């Protein structure tokens, strides 16, 4: 009887065709070995050791989402895989901190050798065992197939957008903004707090819905004149009850 075609043999599963001749016998053995080689998988994050704080890169527990299947086509779900390092965009002490969260779906790749000693020492080391391409030596690379974000940095042809539903905190010894136009809009208030606040340029109060009075604790020092309703504080005069006008203020 002729040997079964390679493409018709279920990968690594024993069926009625597997024993048809030496070729199928050999291919069955090869495929069984290949089935044990883990390359990449879609996984769901079960837990993460970090939650957005400033800390060293942590580890995740994940659940492989594509089930194993036996020779009869029955589903064999995977169990959780524990303590896998996850990817952070980092160079030296500079990093973008976006830690995985439970429920995230992402890509997990698997090292060709046991990485347990390197995980423990963070230094060059021999493999911890003889295992290879094992799920225990997985590395979580980040999210795919996830929902639309509520907090993000967006890069598009129209520019860069930074969005947060809660707060944005900028903290540095020096912060510089340079643009032809800067617009700051607040629905409630704007607070500037510093020992000295310097405005280098003309200062104009709006005449729209947010126009209103101004209050200063003082003292207020003005090097040049002050004009109110077209009246100069420095050169104005008053009517003299005895006739004519008073002189200008000294």
Three-state SS string over the chain comes to CCCCCHHHCCCCCCCCCCCCHHHHHHHHHHHHHHHCCCCEEEEEEEEECCCCCCCCCCEEEEEECCCEECCCCCEECCCCEEEEEECCEEECCEEECCCCCCCCEEEEEECCCCCHHHHHHCCCCCCCCCCCCCHHHEEEEEECCCCCCCCEEEEECCEEEEECCCCCCCCCCCCCCCCCCCCCCCCCCCCCCCCCCCCCCCCCCCCCCCCCCCCCCCCCCCCCCCEECCEECCCCCCECCCCCECCCCC
**Nearest residue to 99 (alpha-carbon basis) of 63, 62, 53:** 53
The residue ranges of every structural domain in the chain are 1-35, 37-167
Q: Is the dihedral of CA 31, 36, 100, 171 positive or negative?
A: negative
CATH code matching the domain that covers 37-167, chosen among 3.40.50.10470, 1.10.1240.10, 2.40.37.20, 2.40.50.230: 2.40.50.230
CA distances in angstroms from 134 to 130, 137, 141, listed in the order given: 10, 6, 16
- 211's tokens: 């126009």
What is the DSSP pairing of strand 231-232 with strand 159-163?
unpaired
Predicted pLDDT at 1: 39
Q: What is the mean pLDDT of each run of 10 residues along the chain (250 residues)?
A: 42 62 73 80 97 94 93 88 96 95 97 96 96 94 93 95 94 94 89 91 76 82 83 73 60
- For the entire predicted model, the pTM comes to 0.74
CA distance 237 to 249: 8
**Nearest residue to 140 (alpha-carbon basis) of 174, 98, 171:** 98
In angstroms, how far is CA 173 from the centroid of its own chain?
24
Predicted pLDDT at 27: 73
Predicted pLDDT at 250: 57
**Main-chain phi, psi angles of 185, to 5 degrees:** -120, 125
Contact by Cβ (8 Å): 13, 47: no
Residues in the chain: 250
CA distance 189 to 111: 54
CA distance 183 to 102: 38
């Amino acid at each position: 009887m002729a040997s079964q075609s390679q493409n018709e043999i279920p990968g690594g599963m024993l069926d009625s065709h597997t024993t048809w001749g030496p070729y199928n016998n050999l291919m069955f053995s090869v495929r069984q070995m290949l089935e044990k080689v883990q390359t990449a998988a879609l996984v769901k994050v079960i837990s993460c050791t970090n939650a957005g704080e400033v800390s060293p890169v942590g580890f995740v527990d994940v659940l492989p989402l594509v089930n194993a299947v036996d020779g009869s086509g029955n589903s064999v779900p995977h169990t959780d895989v524990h303590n896998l390092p996850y990817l952070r965009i980092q160079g030296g002490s500079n990093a973008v901190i976006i830690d995985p969260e439970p429920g995230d779906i992402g890509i997990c790749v698997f090292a060709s050798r046991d990485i347990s000693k390197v995980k423990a020492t963070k230094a060059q080391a021999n493999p911890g065992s003889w295992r290879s391409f094992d799920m225990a030596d997985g590395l979580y690379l980040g999210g795919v197939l996830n929902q639309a974000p509520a907090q993000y940095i967006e890069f598009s042809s129209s520019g860069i957008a930074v969005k947060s539903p809660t707060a944005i905190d900028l903290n540095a010894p020096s912060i510089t903004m340079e643009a032809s136009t800067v617009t700051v809009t607040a629905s409630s208030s704007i607070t500037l707090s510093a020992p000295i606040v310097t405005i280098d340029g003309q200062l104009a109060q709006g005449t729209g819905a947010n126009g209103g009075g101004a209050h200063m604790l003082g003292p207020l020092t003005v090097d040049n004149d002050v004009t109110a309703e077209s009246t100069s504080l420095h050169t104005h005069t008053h009517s003299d009850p005895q006739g004519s006008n008073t002189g200008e203020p000294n």
